[in-house]
Structure formats: C-alpha cells, structure tokens
Homo-oligomer: A and B are copies of this chain.
Amino acid sequence: MTDAVVVGAGLSGLVCARRLAGAGVDVEVLEARDRVGGRTLNQAIGPGQVTELGGQWAGPQHTAVRRLAAEVGVETFPTHIAGRHLYHHAGRATRYRGDVPARMPLGLGDFRLAQARLERLARRIDLDDPAGAPWARRYDEMTVETWMRRHMRTRSGRSLMRLTIKAVLAVEPREISLLGWLFYIASGGGLDSLIRTDGGYQQDRFVGGSQEIALRMAADLGQRLRLATPVRRIEHGRDGVRVHADGAVVDARSVVVAIPPHLHPTIEFAPGLPAVRNQLATAMSAGMVTKFVAVYPEPFWREAGLSGHATSTEGPISMTFDNSPPDGSPGALVAFALADGARALEAMSPADRRGVVLDALVALYGDRASTPQQLHEQCWAREQWTRGCYVGYFGPGGWTSFGSALRRPVGRIVWAGAETATHGHGSMDGAVTAGERAAEEALAALRLEAGVRA
C-alpha cells in the first residue's frame, strides 16, 4: 500500500509526484509511454545538440516552470529573434518588425480594434470558473468565427486573427467558443503576451531542450516511476484505490490523474465516475499541430537579416521560428502546421508532405532552405497517448456545461494536467502549476485522513 499513485509522467504528473515525494509521501508514477515528458520531446540534431518537437518556450510570466527548471539545473536562453520577420499573405512575403505585420494598415487597425475588444471582455473573466457568470455564458453560445464575422470588417484583419488563434491554440475559429478564446486570452495575460517573443510566451528556451526538465525529475524519482505501463482501470472507494496497469497493480490511498481529460476514457473507473465527469471527458478535444524541424549547417537566414520568425496565411505552414541551439550551430528552423493546415498535410504521403513543407520554407527563406541536412516531423494527433496539441479545449457550450467540474476531486481521485490550469492554461507553466495544485490537494486529503486515523 502506497500513499499516492500518479497516472502520467508528463510535466504535470512528474511535478506532482516530485512535490509529494518531497513532502515525505510514498508515491508511484505509472506512464503509458516508454518515455517521460508527455507533450515535451527532445530531438537530437547533432552530438550534444538538441531541438524540440513539443512544448518548448517559456515567457517571463512563467515563473513556476522557471523555478522548477532552476531547481533541476536546467538553464534558459533567449529565443533567437533578432532581425526582420516575414509575413506571407496574399501570395507574397513581406518583412516586418514588432509583433504583427504593419504593412496592411486597414487590416491591422481592424485586428487591433478586435484585440482591444477581446481583451476588455477577457478582463472580466473569472479564471477559476469562466462560465460562472450568466453574462459569460452568452459568449459560450457562439463560435469565434461568428464573432469575427460580426465584429471584424476586413478580410486581412480576420486572416490575422484566424492565424493568431491557430498559432496560440492550434484550432480553427469555428471550433471554439468566444468564451473559450476569452478564457485563453485572460489565462495568458492578454493577446500580446501570448504572441510575443520578447516579454511574451516565446521569450526563452531551455538549454538541452525542454524535455530535459522532465528527464531530470524522472531520474530523481528513480524506481518510483514505471514506463510502458498504461493504466487500464482504477477501482476507488472509501478505503483506498487500486490501480490496474499493464503488468502492475498498485494499492494506494489516493490517485492523481495527470493526463488530458480527452484521454480519461482510456481508463475504466470502478465505480463509474459521475455523469458530469463522463461527459466532460468526451466534451474536450485537442488542437491539431504538426511540428517540422529543418536542420542546416548554419542559420543562413540570420546573414540575410531575417529572424527566422515568419507567419503565413497561405498554409499549410502557418508559422516558423529559429530553433537553433544556443550557439546557433547547427541552424534549425521549426515550422508549424496548424489545425486545417496540419489536417491537409496528414492526407498526403510522407514524401509529398516533406515536399510541401520544404516548398513553404523556400518561399520564405529562399533556395538554401530546400536542402536541410535533417527534416524531423512530429504530428501530435498521431500519438495515441496524446491525440492532439497543444492542449485540450472545450467546444462551444463546454465551459458552461462542464467547467465547474474540471478540477473538482471525485473521492480519492485528484485531477492534474495543463488543462486544469488557470494561469498559463495549456502551457508548460500551466502544467507545472496544475501539478503543484494537485499535489497540495492530495496532501491535504492524506493529512486529513492521517489525522482521523491518529
């Protein structure tokens, strides 16, 4: 009999287990995959050099993941962003500086006005219960697409907003409610914070790759972590829980489920969970993103005065960043296919997909982009134990119907994962704070129980 079982060795589960272990609690972590890190994943691109195929950035506001990284000895370095950015729209690529391309005054004005409106609404959102207020529920009844058509006047402004939503949530504006978008904006501290590099979500990277944080926590946990052990069934009752996984049965006082809600149906609960939890799990979906990392002998775009950051409304690649290691050697460009763009690429053969991605890079960075030494690809929707990135989201009406149940424990079952975060929802920082909150909940319950027994 152990004190607590944590299901899932992503960032959130590992943080939770680490905190529980630090408080002197016996904990075991069960992970379905044969690796840790969940939606963070390093990719070797040379001797001692890595890039990332999953979550990778942290902003100055992401104090929890920064503190954790420092604890485990992982340093940060600034994302390379010096130079001009590219905006590919209506068939041509233009250079710009700053957050958003200024070369389309009407569209940009339209976008900025919409941004101001969204942020004004977002400031009223209660992050603990976005649909708690009746006025907020009205915003859960319409899609962002509907809102855009009603409130934005220019095609180019709408294109820019569509691109922004895809970039930060990997969904199309038809797939989420206005309330869902407002919550995400509020959770991120405003739209600028979400899309910016300097001062925003993309400001810094982790030396050795973001997955290194999870790998070091896993090393600390040692034998308390079991890989390739998918949990199939959780029995729970007054006296404790019994967790059945492939090749393991663990009895405990408490269980923390640290996987995205849309993966909860992978586990049978006995007795079954309340109706609202059964439906919450099916009401969440995850975004669709494929990351490509092209590796070159050097970051040749820098010589041309380009930052390596580009945004495009032309599809299938919506966004690129310079993703080279700290010393810029080798050079690496990360390219994102998002939502419909990523789905279109999935319908192609691997060779065709590679060709389309390289064509997109050439259109932005010229012929030298056509012959990378390596081209890595990671489609998170192909991963059975993820089924989509960056994060799970509710469709219209979901926050209204299920939001208040998102973090509420069910008996001895506590919920972690980036989807349960309030601030930094869906980011690595949100995964960390959610894991810490879940650990506190489990600890409080364990202490209460110990007190009752004593």
User: Can you tell how many copies of this chain the complex includes?
Assistant: 2
Contacting residues, chain B, for A232 (C-beta < 8 A): 232
Partner of A266, one of B143, B145, B266: B266
A275-B288 CB under 8 A given contacts A142-B143, A174-B140: yes
Question: How extensive is the interface on chain A, given as a class?
Answer: 35 or more
Contacting residues, chain B, for A268 (C-beta < 8 A): 230, 266, 384
A346 touches B381 (CB 8 A): no
Contacting residues, chain B, for A173 (C-beta < 8 A): 141
- Tell whether A382 is near chain B: CB-to-CB under 8 Å: yes
CA distance A282 to B280 in the complex (A): 11
Contacting residues, chain B, for A400 (C-beta < 8 A): 174
CA distance A332 to B285 in the complex (A): 40
Q: Which residue of B lies closest to A137 (CB)?
A: B174
B384 touches A269 (CB 8 A): yes
List the 6 shortest-distance A-B pairs measured between CB atoms, nearest first: A395-B395, A275-B381, A174-B397, A141-B174, A272-B384, A175-B397
Q: Could you pull out 21 A-B pairs where Cβ atoms are within 8 angstroms?
A: A140-B174, A141-B143, A141-B146, A141-B174, A143-B146, A174-B177, A175-B396, A175-B397, A262-B265, A263-B265, A265-B265, A266-B268, A272-B383, A272-B384, A275-B382, A279-B285, A279-B286, A282-B284, A282-B286, A340-B401, A395-B398
Q: Which residues of A does B touch, CB under 8 Å? A: 140-143, 145-146, 172-175, 177, 230, 232, 262-263, 265-266, 268-269, 272-276, 278-279, 281-286, 288, 340, 342-343, 346-347, 379, 381-384, 387-388, 395-398, 400-401
